[in-house]
C-alpha cells in the first residue's frame, strides 16, 4: 500500500516544473515510511519513474537529510548504476548535501553513520562524474563534494586541482566559473 501510494504520487509529476516536484517531495516528507520505496524506484533503472524519483529525492534530502542516513549503504552502493543524466544531476547534488552536512560536523547521526568506506565511494563516484562525459551540473556538484571531503583528506585537493586545471580550457562557461571558484578556495585553504 505504501509503495503503491508513492507510485501514484510519482505518476502525478507531469514534468520537471518545481510545483510538481515540491508536491511530491512534500508527500514523501509527510509520509517518511515511503522513503525506502522512493530509493528503490530510483535504482530500478528500467522504471519509467526512476528519474522523477531522483528529482524528488533531491528535494526531500535538501529538507531532511536525516531520512537518507539509515539508507546510506543502499544509496551509495547503487550510485554507479545510474546512467541517465537527468538522474545523475540530483544524485550528485545529494552527494554534495552529504559532504556539506558531514564537513559542518553538526549532524551527529551523519557523523556516526558515514563510514570511511562511504566517504571513499562518494569520492570515487564524484571523481567519475567530474572526469567522464557528464553534464555541467553533475560536475559542479562533484567539485563541491570533493572540495569538502578534501578538507579532511589531503590528497583530494591535489587531484581535484589537477583535474580542474586539465579540463578547464575545454569546459563550458559554467564549468570554468565554478572550477575557478573551487581552485581559489583550495588555494586559500592551502595557505591557512
Task: For 10-54, write each residue's pLDDT tens digit.
Answer: 999 998 899 999 999 999 999 999 999 999 999 999 999 999 999
DSSP state, 115? -
Q: Whole-angstrom Cα distance, residue 25 to residue 183? A: 34
Place of cell 567522464: 132
Region 162-166 average pLDDT: 94
Residue 2 in contact with residue 28, Cβ under 8 Å?
Answer: no
Query: With the C-alpha atoms ordered 172, 177, 180, 185, is the resulting torsion angle positive or negative?
Result: negative
Task: For 72-113, write each residue's pLDDT tens digit.
Answer: 999 999 999 999 999 999 999 999 999 999 998 877 888 889
Task: For 103-143, write each residue's pLDDT tens digit.
Answer: 988 778 888 899 999 999 999 999 999 999 999 999 999 99
pTM summary value: 0.94
Amino acid at each position: 500500500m505504501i509503495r503503491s501510494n508513492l507510485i501514484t504520487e510519482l505518476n502525478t509529476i507531469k514534468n520537471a516544473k518545481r510545483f510538481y516536484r515540491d508536491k511530491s517531495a512534500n508527500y514523501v516528507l509527510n509520509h517518511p515510511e515511503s522513503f525506502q520505496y522512493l530509493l528503490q524506484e530510483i535504482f530500478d533503472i528500467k522504471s519509467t519513474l526512476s528519474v522523477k524519483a531522483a528529482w524528488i529525492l533531491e528535494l526531500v534530502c535538501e529538507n531532511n537529510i536525516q531520512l537518507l542516513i539509515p539508507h546510506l549503504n543502499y544509496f551509495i552502493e547503487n550510485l554507479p548504476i545510474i546512467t541517465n543524466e537527468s538522474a545523475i544531476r540530483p544524485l550528485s547534488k545529494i552527494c554534495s548535501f552529504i559532504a556539506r552536512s558531514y564537513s559542518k560536523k553538526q549532524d551527529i547521526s551523519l557523523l556516526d553513520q558515514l563510514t570511511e568506506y562511504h566517504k571513499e565511494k562518494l569520492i570515487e563516484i564524484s571523481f567519475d562524474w567530474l572526469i567522464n562525459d557528464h553534464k555541467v551540473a553533475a560536475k559542479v556538484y562533484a567539485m563541491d563534494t570533493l572540495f569538502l571531503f578534501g578538507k579532511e583528506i589531503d590528497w583530494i585537493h591535489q587531484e581535484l586541482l589537477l583535474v580542474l586545471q586539465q579540463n578547464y580550457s575545454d569546459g563550458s562557461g559554467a564549468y570554468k566559473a565554478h572550477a575557478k571558484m573551487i581552485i581559489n578556495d583550495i588555494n586559500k585553504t592551502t595557505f591557512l
